[in-house]
Amino acid sequence: VCFRMYTEDEARKIGVVGWVKNTSKGTVTGQVQGPEEKVNSMKSWLSNVGSPSSRIDRTNFSNEKTISKLEYSSFNIRY
């Protein structure tokens, strides 16, 4: 369903950094970093929109914390 590709595109449009990858369980995992309002926009997109062919059953955001410096310089797909 190209979820990772659409996620990468949306992250770059919103202006967040991090990564996304498929898991062996058929789900998607990743990390998003950026200003709180941009991260919240990305979380909303991941929870409610996704790729055109995706079916989002649920989302789980964990380990949320405030950081002083971004750990990534862009948003990428991991394999």
Residue of 12, 22, 60, 63 marked active site: 22
Other CB atoms within 10 Å distance of the CB of residue 10: 18
Distance, CA of 5 to CA of 21 (rounded, Å)? 10
Give the β-pairing of 28-33 and 75-77: unpaired
Active-site position among 4, 40, 48, 78:
4
For residue 7, count other CB atoms closer than 10 A to its CB.
25
Active site residue 76: no
Active site residue 22: yes
| Residues with catalytic function | 4, 22
